[in-house]
Amino acid sequence: MRFLAVCTALAAATALTGCGQSAGSDGGSGKVTLWLMKGSASDDFIAKFTADFEKQHPGTDLEVRIQEWKGIGDKVNAVLGGKAEAGAGADVIEVGNTQVAQYVETGGVSEVTLEGLREWGSKDWLKGLSDPGSVNGAQYGVPWYAANRVVIYNKDLFANAGIKTPPKNRQDWISATQKLDKGDQQGIYLPGQNWYVLAGFVWDEGGELAVETGGQWVGALDEDKALAGMDFYKQLQALGDGPRNADEETPPQSEVFARGQVAQIIAPPGQAAQIEAANPALKGKLGFFPVPGKTSEKAGSVFTGGSDLIIPEKTRNRALAVDVITALVSEKWQTELARTMSYVPNKTTLAHVVDGNDGAAAMAPGAAQGRATPKSARWAEVEAKNPIKPYMTAVLTGQDPRQAAKAASDTVSQVLSSDR
């Protein structure tokens, strides 16, 4: 879902081969409307992109409309269903990566063409963006940008503990955090219900939150591999004083870190600005490193947030809509967006463009291992009920892990399989 003012968008283009067009073709002239979510791109980026697109497409009017997240689902569904008020439609829409299946189930999203996949560099797409955009073997979402969690650390506390380089694997991470956890100082502030972080640990172990079998989704938190992920979370969480019955927003972990006695938190790098605003004395003293994996060869798995782009089936100008996406995912504009907004580009081959931005650079290795939540159209209902949070609290307070996981998995299965 969304964090750090970052969400995702899914996009789709219909079988353009049948329309005689392919990605990157000259869409001709006319008006094309692009919906972007508030905070996804700066005003300067939008102005530059609009001017360049219209220059490359003489006679074309590109209208960019900024949308609020609140109530966006109803607005998108109105467009997809052809029920938007006159003049309120869209040809390309940014949506959340984990919302793709939900919109596809509702109907009205175009499937991406094979021509588009090749043109847009799909073989190098970040899986955490591309996988949620694929439903039943068909691609509907075109990845636009990504953001994920990293470890934000206090350089002074690391130096005082004799830790010269950030850890690259779990064993070294635990050892370093043990050194940092002393007296009034917390080795790490990890709230007991940060389930997005848990998801990464579960995926690293080869486990899943839920799996689809024979067309039916079932919870998988009680499987051995998923339980191993929870066990590591428990080890790490014990090396600090994070609450066992609250998430990262209760209280906001950036405020806790800003007090100066926390060595690490796991968060999007954008939270560094919040920390520095709360405690200016920490400016220049914050570092970033990818969430360590089980070995030093690759970073740990993380939940990927970001955006995909979709094209409604009822677009007024399909060719221009495809050209808008082609431009937005091009190396030129991917580089501009990543550097302007400190995002991770949509392709692994563009990871180098954020070199020099410490926070974004730390995201890139994790983004390559990024994942998203299960592609069920009803996963949003699971998050609303969220049986994972009390499961985590139960384990951290000494209850039987397998029994607690089974109860959570049963609830997940019930929600995903229930009739609306």
Q: What pLDDT score was predicted for residue 277?
A: 93
Rounded distance between C-alpha atoms, residue 213 and residue 245, angstroms: 32
Query: Are 150 and 366 spatial neighbours (Cβ–Cβ below 8 Å)?
Result: yes
Paired with 64 in beta bridges are 34
Question: What are the DSSP calls for 52-94, one per residue?
Answer: HHHHHSTTEEEEEEEE-STTHHHHHHHHHTT-PPTT---SEEE
Identify the CA nearest to 99 among candidates 144, 149, 133: 133
Give 98's DSSP letter: G
Mark 397-419 as b/e (b = at least 16 C-beta within 10 Å). eeeebeebbebbbebbbebbeee
Rounded distance between C-alpha atoms, residue 156 and residue 160, angstroms: 6
* Residue 207 CA, distance from chain mean position: 19
Structure tokens at 395: 């384990």
Cis amide prior to 251 (ω within 30 degrees): yes
Structure tokens at 414: 């019930």
Rounded distance between C-alpha atoms, residue 38 and residue 103, angstroms: 20
Q: What pLDDT score was predicted for residue 419?
A: 65
Helix (H) or strand (E) holding 216: strand 216-219
At position 276, the amino acid (one-letter code) is: E
User: Interior CA angle at 76 toward 43 and 65, to 5°?
Assistant: 20
Query: Which domains occur in the chain, in start order?
Result: 16-147+303-368 (3.40.190.10), 150-302+376-417 (3.40.190.10)
Query: Are 111 and 336 spatial neighbours (Cβ–Cβ below 8 Å)?
Result: no
Cα dihedral 393/253/303/360 (nearest 10): -160
Query: Are 367 and 183 spatial neighbours (Cβ–Cβ below 8 Å)?
Result: no
3-class DSSP assignment, residue 151? strand
pLDDT by 10s per residue, the chain, length 420: 444 334 333 333 322 323 333 343 445 569 999 999 998 999 999 999 999 999 999 999 999 999 998 889 999 999 999 998 888 899 999 998 888 888 998 999 999 877 678 889 999 999 999 999 998 889 999 999 999 999 999 999 999 999 999 999 999 999 999 999 999 999 999 999 999 999 999 999 999 999 998 889 999 999 999 999 999 999 999 999 999 999 999 999 999 999 999 999 999 998 998 999 999 999 999 999 999 999 999 999 999 989 999 999 999 999 999 999 999 999 999 999 999 898 999 999 999 999 999 999 999 999 999 999 998 889 988 998 999 999 999 999 999 999 999 999 999 999 999 765
Q: What pLDDT score was predicted for residue 9?
A: 32
Cα dihedral 68/195/374/405 (nearest 10): -150
For residue 201, the tally of other CB atoms under 10 A from its CB is: 25
Give 167's DSSP letter: -
